[in-house]
Structure formats: structure tokens, C-alpha cells
Structure 1
């Protein structure tokens, strides 16, 4: 296969790995240093949430991707923003009993090799819940194509989060997520 076969997926302590994870997110998502500082505080709060699951993708000890999520709760800030959009489309029930993928990022040089799909599949498998929800930039991006290939569908579009000009889509999928197309196994090893 390719040179990425040595990438491993492991559980991480989100609070301890937050600075490295945000370095990955800054490159993958194009964050400014100011945005990284704001998100560092947010990730620290998320690390304390009940049921949070965090995974890192490592290449020789170097973090090249990460993802984390938690059982969704209506009182979470994210839920309060998306609730009116979901309810307007008749999808308000997607706020309850679902696993929210909070962040999922892979360094550009490691994208397109199954790392992101392995991260999200493993997070969802470990959640013990029957549905998953996430938000993504509302554009035809590789991330949106990945989520669709895993069974996520649009629940709301043109969602506006405060402090950003980008519009987002909220997507949901039943769990478990489908196997990789063609029965191929992911190149990353999951621990």
C-alpha cells in the first residue's frame, strides 16, 4: 500500500493533547493564532464533558490527525445554535440520544488515505449510541463528501454560528456507519 500504512489510531487525553491537536486543526482548517487560543479554551472545557471520546492519528509518534465527540446535550452551546434550524426542518429529535462529532481534522498531506474515516468510525463505534450528528462547512468539500460516503445526510443547511461568516450544514447518520466501499480495510491501525 502507501506510506501511510504505519499510521495508528489511539485514544488520547484530550486536555493533554489539546495544543498539538489545535496545531493540526490550524493547518487543516486554516485557523489564525487568535482562533487557536480561543479554541484551546473551548477544547479544555470539552475535555471535561461526560462521555467525551478523543482519538489521535499518529505517524511515528507525531499527531497527524485527531477527532473527538461526546453525547449531545441540548444545553450545549452548539445545540442551542442548531436547534432552530433542525426544528424548522422537522429534525429536532436529532438533538437527543446522539453522538456529536465535535472536531475531526487530518493534516493535508495525510488526507485521502482513510485516516479521517477511521477516526470517525472508531469514535462512533465507541459511543454506544445509535445516531451521530456533526456540522461541516456548507460547501462541496472533501469533508462533506467523506461524511456522505459514511451515511451522513443533510439535516439543516445555511446554519450561521456566531463569530463566523462561514455557513454550515448539520448532518446526521444512523450508527453503525457503513463499512468502507469495496470492503477495503482502512490503512490506519485502530487501538
Structure 2
């Protein structure tokens, strides 16, 4: 049995070592990127309306997490993605998706616990009751389990084959209207 537990900014920051362990197991990033990722996550906890969910086993071990916040100008991801969508699809489309958006920054489940509905519960739990009109996120633009999950949850592609400045990997920027539609 997996329990979801909400955490605010302070609890999230105090659990960053655990968060990084789950992130590392799920994503297998190069070791030299971890301190930078930890700094980014710490900074995200300062953003407006930050919220986090931890997925915990019955003994209290964290096996997954997800977090997000209200997106606004001045946040790097928000500015880069909104500008790119505006260039590709026009100002009305960009404003419609990013004018009042909940930005899901991270969703990760330890590999030993993937495929059990935890990621779905994290996304739905983070979006539940949010006041924003949309939820947006980026994910690797490959046929992964995450891409499939987001589609099942009602996320649509806003941009595909997107490369962040200074990067080389292709991402899909996806979004859904809030409140989320229930899964059939």
C-alpha cells in the first residue's frame, strides 16, 4: 500500500537527499549534474504556491515524489517554454496555456515501484484542487511510459521535438485543462 503525503517547501527542502536519491534511480543522470539539480529543486521550493507529494510505503520509505508551483514570468522554464510556444503557435495559444498555469516540475518513481499507478496518483494528486486553469510539463519526447501516462491523463502535445537552450535532448511540452478529467 502506497500513501501519498503532501509536503510544503520546508519539508521538501529538508528531504532533498531523499528526493535526489529517487531522482537518480529513476533518471540515471550524470553524477556531475546532481548538485546543480539539487540547487534547482531547492530554488523551485521558493516559487509561488509550491506543493509536493511524496509516495510512501507502509514503513514510511519514500519511493516517489512530484512537485509543482504556479508558473509566472521570471521563472526560467516558464519564460523559455512560453516564448517558444508563442513563436510556434502564436500569442493567444501561448497565453491560453501559460497565462494561469500549474507547472509540474518533477514526477519520479523509484524503478522498483514503477508500473503500479504511483505516477498517475502523483500527477492527479498534485493537480487536484489547483486554482489554475491549466497544468503543463515537459517530458522526454520518446515513446516512454511517462508519455503514455500523460496522454491517458488528458495531456496534449503543445510542442514536440523541443530542445532547451544549451541542451541537446528532445522534449515534448504537454498540457491539460484543469480540473483534470477522470480516467475512464
Name the TM-score, length of structure 1 as normaliser. 0.87
Equivalence map 1:130-145=2 (5 Å): 130-145=133-148
Cα offset for 1:14? Answer: 1.6
Residue 27 of structure 1, CA deviation: 1.0
2: CA distance, partners of 1:175 / 1:113: 24
* 1:43-100 C-alpha deviation (Å, 9 max, x unpaired): 1111111200111001121110000000111221002221232111233111210100
Question: What corresponds to 1:67 in structure 2?
Answer: 66
Of 37, 40, 57 in structure 2, the residue corresponding to residue 39 of structure 1 is 37
Aligned to 2:114: 111
Structure-to-structure mapping, 1:159-170, within 5 angstroms: 159-170=162-173
Q: In the alignment, which residue of structure 1 is the partner of 2:46?
A: 48
- Aligned-partner Cα distance in 1 for 2:166–2:53: 27
**Offset of residue 33 of structure 1:** 2.1
CA contact (8 A) 2:129 2:179 kept: no
Q: Is the counterpart of residue 8 in structure 1 residue 6 in structure 2?
A: no
Q: What is the match of residue 123 of structure 2? A: 120
The TM-score, its normalising length taken from structure 2, stands at 0.90
Aligned-partner Cα distance in 2 for 1:36–1:111: 22
Q: Which deviates more from structure 2 when the two are superposed, residues 12-21 or residues 135-144? A: 12-21
Question: Which 4+ runs in 1 deviate beyond 3 A?
Answer: none
Greater relative CO (CA pairs within 8 A, separation 6+)? 1
- The unaligned stretches of length 5 or more in structure 1 are 1-5, 182-191
SS state at 2:160 partner: strand
Considering only aligned residues, what root-mean-square deviation do their CA atoms show, in Å?
1.3
Q: 2:160·2:171 contact (CA, 8 Å) conserved in 1?
A: yes
CA displacement at 1:29 relative to structure 2: 1.1
Structure 2: tracts of 5 or more residues without a match: none
Aligned residue number for residue 89 of structure 1: 89
Distance 1:114 1:62 in 2: 17
User: 1:89–1:156: 8 Å Cα contact kept in structure 2?
Assistant: no
- Equivalent pairs counted in the alignment come to 176
